[in-house]
């Protein structure tokens, strides 16, 4: 999804946990000094890459297509092989053009009885239009969405496999959102952000568990490109600063400082906004931002070139290992 916000997010987000606004990015994480050492599983980059390949094999996962249906079955089936608590949440949402979309949010939960839990999320479907493609002839073609969708899902599928081998100490919910990228094409701007993140809007207002809550969340978005740079996304910094600092400090501590930069990025309309807005859970958006491109995102964002050639297993490793470190260090 993704649009850069020009204005500050409405005040309704200010109700997010005030403690998430503390902390300074780049400061030493002294809390690690008092934490007991825990064995962190090794994230398998080849496994994550294979899950990206498997998603792309169905073709563009555009809502309403056979590829979309088959990929949903594949993802939910794999998750069920690793987790006994998997829910496919169906949702029917209106798109910007009035079309009714049939979506499927896929949720896998570990230790669902625990109140001490975190959310790991991404979106799994493909954008119907490559509206930022340099060739105008391609701008109504669907996107393979290798980086903008499949990369985050591939990482979370490998994380799920790791959780099945060694459960974290806390509760985990992997939430894979549908209907994230069905916002209007660039030349049909609807002038509002409500048409983006439809699946996350639905889940945040109708969570899979009554009175659902979590301590915090991590959203993965465009996390597989070669040499990706993850800047400090602005909405996350404003409303989930502690979470952002936790993730960036962990990445830098384990050797991934070239990916996770202590540098401010723009404010992005993404799924994390709706989780914070409706569920009051601070969520950090881990997203590839690039100040050298006109869009501010990675170069092949919303183009026909967002294909397997734009995925690097080393980047999947950097993000996946960082995420596992954060998760397994929680007590």
Question: How far is residue 291's CA from residue 265's CA, in Å, rounded to a whole number?
Answer: 8
| Residue of 104, 72, 126, 106 lying closest to 175 (CA atoms) | 106
Q: What was the pLDDT predicted at 7?
A: 37
pTM higher than 0.85 for the full model? yes
Question: How far is residue 167's CA from residue 162's CA, in Å, rounded to a whole number?
Answer: 8
Q: Residue 213 CB: number of other CB atoms within 10 A? A: 11
pLDDT at 13 over 90: no
Check: CB of residue 90 under 8 Å from CB of residue 154. no
Q: Which ranges in the chain belong to alpha helices (H)?
A: 45-56, 66-82, 151-165, 198-205, 234-239, 241-253, 271-279, 313-328
Mean pLDDT of 177-203: 89
Domains and CATH numbers, the chain: 3-328 (3.40.630.10)
Mean pLDDT of 192-207: 94
| Residue of 316, 281, 294 lying closest to 132 (CA atoms) | 294
Check: CB of residue 287 under 8 Å from CB of residue 222. yes
Check: CB of residue 218 under 8 Å from CB of residue 119. yes
pLDDT at 24 over 50: no
Average pLDDT across the chain, whole number: 91
């Amino acid at each position: 999804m993704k649009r850069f916000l020009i204005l500050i997010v409405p005040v309704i987000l200010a109700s997010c946990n005030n403690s998430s606004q503390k902390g300074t990015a780049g400061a030493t994480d002294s809390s690690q000094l008092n934490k007991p050492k825990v064995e962190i599983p090794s994230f398998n980059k080849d496994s994550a890459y294979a899950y990206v390949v498997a998603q792309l094999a169905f073709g563009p996962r555009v809502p309403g297509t056979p590829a979309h249906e088959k990929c949903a079955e594949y993802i939910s089936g794999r998750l069920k092989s690793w987790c006994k608590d998997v829910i496919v949440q169906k949702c029917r949402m209106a798109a910007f053009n009035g079309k009714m979309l049939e979506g499927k949010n896929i949720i896998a939960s570990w230790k669902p009885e625990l109140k001490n839990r975190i959310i790991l999320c991404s979106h799994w479907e493909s954008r119907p239009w490559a509206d930022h493609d340099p060739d105008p002839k391609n701008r109504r073609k669907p996107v393979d969405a290798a980086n903008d969708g499949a990369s985050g899902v591939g990482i979370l599928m490998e994380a799920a496999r790791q959780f099945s081998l060694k459960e974290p100490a806390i509760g985990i919910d992997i939430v894979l959102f549908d209907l994230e990228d069905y916002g209007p094409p660039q030349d049909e701007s609807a002038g509002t952000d409500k048409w983006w993140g439809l699946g996350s809007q639905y889940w945040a207002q109708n969570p899979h568990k009554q009175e659902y809550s979590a301590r915090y969340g991590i959203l993965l978005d465009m996390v597989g490109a070669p040499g990706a740079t993850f800047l400090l996304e602005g909405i996350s910094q404003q409303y989930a600063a502690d979470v952002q600092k936790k993730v960036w400090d962990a990445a830098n501590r384990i050797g991934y400082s070239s990916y996770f930069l202590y540098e401010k990025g723009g404010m992005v309309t993404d799924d994390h906004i709706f989780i914070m807005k409706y569920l009051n859970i601070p969520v950090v958006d881990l997203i590839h931002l690039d100040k050298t491109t006109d869009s501010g995102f990675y170069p092949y964002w919303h183009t026909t070139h967002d294909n397997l050639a734009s995925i690097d297993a080393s980047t999947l490793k950097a993000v996946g290992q960082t995420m596992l470190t954060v998760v397994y260090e929680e007590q």
